[in-house]
Amino acid sequence: MSSVSKVAVLGCGRLGSSLASLIDKSHGIELSALYGRKEAAVREASLKTGVDKIYSNLKELPSSDIYLVAIDDDALESFSKNIFEAGFAKGKVIAHLSGSESSQVFSKLHSDGTFIASCHPMKSFTEKLVSLEEFDGTSCVLEGDSEACDVLDKLFSRLGAKTFRISSENKLKYHSAAVFASNYIVTLLDIAGELLSEIGLDKSFQGLEQLSQQVLQNVFSQGTEKALTGPIERGELEVVRKELDCLSEYKDISLLYALLAERTSEIAERKGSISTEKKSELKSLLEKAQASS
């Protein structure tokens, strides 16, 4: 398996639509089909992307070298049965784009000679289509059959992405890392915005954006230890105690603050900015806060 000249995208949501558009506009790759279960949805995606090779019946899909499946994680297993019954993937490469599921969700397809894999682009896809320029340099994590991964490597490299491989058993650990680095940053900033709103500063307070962007820049240029600042890094336990008291009316926020503070103390200790004794004092303070939350 080495050809990636014809690619079909199965799924016309945010990710599927963006990838179909990227492939359609790329050089050396032909978008053979954009599939959606509902005719209305795939027609809407066609209008959005400019792609006219649309299908809503699996059995009518044209022959392709690779099929990219961009549907909800919980629908992948049942969808693999539909693919098996349709019979179009025999001897071809089929890969889903889920971050949490491994290629093994498609294991049934092995019996007809299909090469299976998963490819997860580490990028946030919104309603706005991603351009080739925006996709350039995106990290895509692959796992699955080596033959399929070789094809995916060529495909996504042509789209300007950088590919990395992991084992199937490490897929959930990988995705958990991605969740912490994306979804939970959103959650933490939502909490920060809520607290600022309560003191009369709008959630879009510019200082919050500037601070967050600077911290992220520091983390990726200097590492987490050098990027860490704040009361825990300075060993200011009284500040931590006062803030826990202040946040006690918000049980979930108070508990989250305490849990994050404990993990932050690990970074501070590695950095050498707090002693083992100071860290132990902080742990006792945090345990009390967690018990009362």
Q: DSSP 3-state assignment of 264?
A: helix
Q: Are residues 75 and 101 in the same domain?
A: yes
Q: Are residues 22 and 98 in the same domain?
A: yes
**What's the pTM?**
0.85
Instruction: pLDDT band for 156, please (50, 70, 90 cuts).
Output: very high
Which residue from 33, 100, 103 is spatially nearest to 67, judged by alpha carbons?
A: 33
Take residue 254 and report the two structure tokens written for it. Answer: 């108070």
Give the integer Cα–Cα distance in Å for 36 and 183.
27
Give the integer Cα–Cα distance in Å for 279 and 213.
28
Give the integer Cα–Cα distance in Å for 257 and 242.
12
Give the integer Cα–Cα distance in Å for 240 and 289.
10
Q: Are residues 42 and 186 in the same domain?
A: no
Q: Which of 167, 202, 229 is the last residue of a domain?
A: 167
What is residue 34's DSSP assignment?
E
Q: Are residues 207 and 92 in the same domain?
A: no
Instruction: pLDDT band for 1, please (50, 70, 90 cuts).
Output: very low
Give the residues across from 66 on adjacent strands: 7, 93
Confirm if 60 and 84 have CB atoms less than 8 A apart: no
Can you give the residue range of the structural domain that contains 225? 180-292
- pLDDT tens, position by position, 56-112: 999 999 999 999 999 999 999 999 999 999 988 899 999 999 999 999 999 999 988
- Give the chain's domain count: 2
Q: Are residues 161 and 191 in the same domain?
A: no
In a domain, residue 175? The reply is no
Residue 58: which residues within 8 A CB-CB, separation 6 or more? 10, 35, 82, 83, 86, 88
Give the integer Cα–Cα distance in Å for 40 and 127.
17
In a domain, residue 147? The reply is yes
- pLDDT tens, position by position, 122-149: 998 888 888 888 999 999 999 999 999 9
Q: Which amino acid is at 35?
A: Y
Q: Are residues 158 and 186 in the same domain?
A: no
Q: Which of 101, 135, 167 is the last residue of a domain?
A: 167
In a domain, residue 138? The reply is yes
Q: DSSP 3-state assignment of 74?
A: helix
In a domain, residue 174? The reply is no
Q: Are residues 138 and 22 in the same domain?
A: yes
Angle CA(134)–CA(72)–CA(145) in degrees, nearest 5?
80
CB atoms near residue 196 (< 10 Å): 16
Give the residues across from 30 on adjacent strands: 6
pLDDT at residue 131 in the model: 87
Residue appearing with tokens 């992307």? 49
- pLDDT tens, position by position, 216-261: 999 999 999 999 999 999 999 999 999 999 999 999 999 999 999 9
Q: Are residues 185 and 281 in the same domain?
A: yes
Residue 264: which residues within 8 A CB-CB, separation 6 or more? 228, 230, 232, 233
Q: Are residues 200 and 282 in the same domain?
A: yes
pLDDT at 204 over 80: no
In a domain, residue 173? The reply is no
In a domain, residue 1? The reply is no
In a domain, residue 124? The reply is yes
Instruction: pLDDT band for 206, please (50, 70, 90 cuts).
Output: confident
Q: Are residues 50 and 163 in the same domain?
A: yes
pLDDT at residue 106 in the model: 95
CATH number of the domain residue 18 falls in:
3.40.50.720
- pLDDT tens, position by position, 2-22: 456 899 999 999 999 999 999
Q: Are residues 203 and 131 in the same domain?
A: no
Q: Are residues 63 and 105 in the same domain?
A: yes
- pLDDT tens, position by position, 24-52: 999 889 999 999 999 999 999 999 999 99
In a domain, residue 142? The reply is yes
Q: Which of 128, 144, 167 is the last residue of a domain?
A: 167
Q: Which amino acid is at 122?
A: M
